[in-house]
Amino acid sequence: EESFGGHKDSKPLGPASVGLDISFPGSQHLYGLPEHASSMQLQTTKGDKSHYNEPYRLYTLDVFEYELDEPMALYGGIPIVWSHTAASTVG
């Protein structure tokens, strides 16, 4: 059993996760990861100047009572991220 933000997951089929590190060279801002109650511009989750101290999580869930300005997922995870610069838009 695991707890996150006051929610418990009994993991009836066992633990599972996928982790990714993605780079967008030349980009200063990333946008995306819908279904979160935070800004469309993704905030930093690592380092001294991080906005959040938890990573963005993509759970398959449906949260009824959610907190504003938090990186926790609200509904199923749809991992789309894009970056826009003067030279290109990549996603």
The yes-or-no verdict on residue 87 having pLDDT over 70 is: yes
Question: In whole angstroms, what is the distance from residue 55 CA to residue 57 CA?
Answer: 6
Which tens digit of pLDDT belongs to each residue from 38-74? 777 888 888 888 888 887 776 566 667 777 887 766 6
**pTM, entire model:** 0.48
Q: What is the rounded CA–CA span in Å between residue 77 and residue 36?
A: 9
Amino acid residing at 42: L
Residue 84 pLDDT exceeds 80:
yes
Q: Tell me which amino acid residue 66 is.
A: Y
What average pLDDT does this structure show over 3-25? 77
First-to-last alpha carbon distance for the chain, in angstroms, is: 35
Distance CA 76, CA 59 (A): 6
